[in-house]
Copies of this chain bind each other. A is one copy, B any other.
Amino acid sequence: MRNEYISHQKLVLTKVLKKQTAPIGIFDSGIGGLTVAKAVMEALPNEDILYFGDTARVPYGIKSQETVRKYALEITRFLLDKGVKMILIACNTGSASAKAEIIEMAGEVPVLDVITSGSEMAVSFTKHDEVAIIGTLATVNSGAYKKAIHQLDSAVSVQQKACPLFVPLAEEGWTDNEIAQKTIEIYLSGFKNSSIDSLILGCTHYPLFKPAIEKYLHDENIHIIDSAESIAITAGQELKSKNLANTSGGNFACFVSDQPQRFQELAERFLGRTIYDIQIVSL
């Protein structure tokens, strides 16, 4: 009887350990989500990360909701088959278009997304209840951040501004030159002398402009919220509360649907470190 109990306990423990050592799945339409992977690496250095970038079908932002949903669910299936213990939707378009469907498919596996995490942090930071979001045209048009913020606190006023040039500028490596500064000036001039006190960087590419944006808004009292950092913090809290935190990991695996030119160089700029192994998978 006692032996049976011990073997049952062992099985439970093995299952728990297996879950704890399982990787966190992170996905994005392309390489942008590597800024989320970077933030998770920094906040949770003992976690294994499995990243999927849908580089064959990037960008999602200009596609219809239906198409994005189909792609996001294919990736979710891939990550679940790889045994991830948590899914982070690093893709703003994916979060806006397919979150409910991803949660349903994931079942017991917790799902976090950049929009919810960024919105939660903005609502907790704002003192004047005045928040602004910058993102791609698709993210802004979806109104997803606005909805998420209003679900948390309907009294918060939300301004939005699409900054379509930031993604290609980041990919060109122009994040602080004269052109980047001039572009920041054109896009963000409306936030100077305004009443907003929190600005969400609502696109995974935008953390690369954080220093230049901080410099431009230097005299304003605006807290800049990086949704990559926000989701990493939330992920850590969630893993701890669910007893899913790893203590022995720290590995990074990178999967892409196509390996475009300059991918390695770009990916390493976004991740902030060398990537030794990139695997191409067809979904």
| Complex CA–CA separation, A58 to B55 (angstroms) | 11
CB of A179 within 8 Å of the partner chain: yes
**Within A161-188, which residues are at the interface with B (CB < 8 Å)?**
164-165, 167-169, 171-172, 174, 178-179, 182-183, 186
| Complex CA–CA separation, A168 to B136 (angstroms) | 12
Once A179-B182, A182-B179, A186-B179 are accepted as A-B contacts, the answer to whether A64 and B259 lie under 8 Å apart by CB is yes
**Within A26-56, which residues are at the interface with B (CB < 8 Å)?**
55-56
CB of A193 within 8 Å of the partner chain: no
Distance between A201 CB and nearest chain B CB, rounded to angstroms: 18
| Complex CA–CA separation, A259 to B179 (angstroms) | 30
CB of A12 within 8 Å of the partner chain: no
CB of A218 within 8 Å of the partner chain: no
Chain B contacts of A258 at CB under 8 A?
A: 62-64, 67
Once the chains bind, are B137 and A62 in contact (CB under 8 Å)? no
CB of A157 within 8 Å of the partner chain: no
Once the chains bind, are B62 and A67 in contact (CB under 8 Å)? no
Chain B contacts of A172 at CB under 8 A?
A: 164-165
Chain B's closest residue to A66 (CB) is B258
Chain B's closest residue to A55 (CB) is B62
Once the chains bind, are A261 and B62 in contact (CB under 8 Å)? yes
Among B63, B141, B167, B182, the residue within 8 A (CB) of A168 is B167
| Complex CA–CA separation, A165 to B64 (angstroms) | 24
**Within A141-172, which residues are at the interface with B (CB < 8 Å)?**
141, 164-165, 167-169, 171-172
CB of A107 within 8 Å of the partner chain: no
| Residues on A facing B (Cβ under 8 Å) | 55-58, 62-64, 67, 137-138, 141, 164-165, 167-169, 171-172, 174, 178-179, 182-183, 186, 258-262
Supply 20 further A-B pairs (C-beta < 8 A) apart from A55-B63, A137-B262.
Answer: A55-B62, A56-B67, A57-B57, A58-B62, A63-B258, A63-B260, A64-B260, A137-B261, A164-B168, A164-B171, A165-B165, A165-B168, A165-B169, A165-B172, A168-B168, A178-B182, A179-B179, A179-B182, A179-B183, A179-B186
Sample 20 A-B pairs with CB under 8 A, ordered by A number: A55-B62, A55-B63, A56-B63, A57-B57, A63-B260, A64-B258, A64-B259, A137-B262, A138-B261, A165-B168, A165-B172, A165-B174, A165-B179, A167-B168, A168-B168, A179-B179, A179-B182, A179-B183, A179-B186, A182-B182
CB-CB nearest 3 A-B residue pairs: A62-B260, A168-B168, A164-B172
